[in-house]
Amino acid sequence: MARRLFIAGNWKMNLGPAQAAGLALELKAALASNTALDVAVAPVAVSIPAVVAKLKHSGLHVAGQDLHAEASGAFTGAVPGEHLREAGCTYVIVGHSERRQLFGDDDALVAKKVKAAFRAGLLPILCVGETLSQRQAGQLEAVLDQQLSVAMGGLAADQAAAVTLAYEPVWAIGTGHNATPEQAQEAHAYIRGWLRGHFPAFVADQLRIQYGGSVKASNAGALLTQPDVDGALVGGASLKAADFLGIIEAGLAARRASRS
Ligand code: 13P
């Protein structure tokens, strides 16, 4: 079953409102006639309104980078999904490895945040992936099992199908060492198999799995033509229009070539 390509840019803690708006405008201009794929960008929270304003009627989506599990209350500094939705986001990244490693988001909290995203009317982009030491210890599948079962276990099938999963091996993030296309496909196929074992078949058929970790124009084609790689979650190379657009063009071109 054909799943529509979904490429998202995670701008992480970069680009304040003015710079973010500038990049959004460049992407909007370049992707004005795009109908071939879904594109989202995830600015820092304070830059979201400026980006939403620039991307109006563009078909490009805006995502939060994180959300609090509660809808409101005494949680100084936190941003709830309801506010992201009101500000114009349609997606929210949940469980990014930087949240897990630097901010203490554990599987139980990630599960709450996935539910909070749906409560707020947002679609979660749920990140999973192993560290280098876990991979070297042969724990890839066990780590994915644990992360998926806690974060997705309580979801109804229609919600599960609406999740985007991002397989982001921690050792590939920001290192320049992307997973090989074969390593990505192997992990993605494992994830899809896990979905088949835990949900009705349509969930595994529909759910899109992005690969993330040192994606750039030069490796995007080979990654995005793997049968179970449905998109990319791009960090560093999403911060410049030319780099991000290069990934999109390389991915589309390689997919066209692989089908002809
Ligand atoms: P890089 O593309 O910079 O490796 O980051 C990947 C990532 O963490 C996207 O969420």
- Does 161 fall in a domain? yes
Neighbours of 231 (CB within 10 A): 28
- Does 120 fall in a domain? yes
Q: What does the pLDDT read at residue 260?
A: 79
Q: What is the mean pLDDT of each run of 10 residues along the chain (260 residues)?
A: 92 98 98 93 98 96 98 98 98 98 98 98 98 98 98 96 98 96 98 98 98 97 97 98 98 92
Q: Provide φ and ψ at 234, rounded to 5°.
A: -110, 130
For 95-134, what is each residue's pLDDT tens digit?
999 999 999 999 999 999 999 999 999 999 999 999 999 9
* Dihedral angle over CA of 190, 194, 195, 200, nearest 10: 130
Q: At what angle do helices 217-224 and 181-198 cross, to 10 degrees?
A: 40
Alpha carbon of 173 to ligand 1 centroid (Å): 5
Q: What does the pLDDT read at residue 259?
A: 84
Query: Which CATH number is 228's domain given?
Result: 3.20.20.70
- Does 75 fall in a domain? yes
Among protein residues, the one whose CA lies closest to atom 9 of ligand 1: 235
Alpha carbon of 52 to ligand 1 centroid (Å): 22
Q: What does the pLDDT read at residue 33?
A: 87
- Does 212 fall in a domain? yes
- Does 1 fall in a domain? no
Q: What does the pLDDT read at residue 86?
A: 98
For 160-176, what is each residue's pLDDT tens digit?
999 999 999 999 999 99
Residues with catalytic annotation? 96, 168
Distance of CA 207 to the CA centre of its chain: 12
Give the structural domain span for 140.
6-259
For 12-25, what is each residue's pLDDT tens digit?
999 999 999 999 99
Total count of domains within the chain: 1
Q: What does the pLDDT read at residue 2?
A: 83
CB–CB of 180/216 below 8 Å? Answer: no
Ligand 1 within 6 A of 168 CB?
yes
Ligand 1 within 6 A of 236 CB?
yes
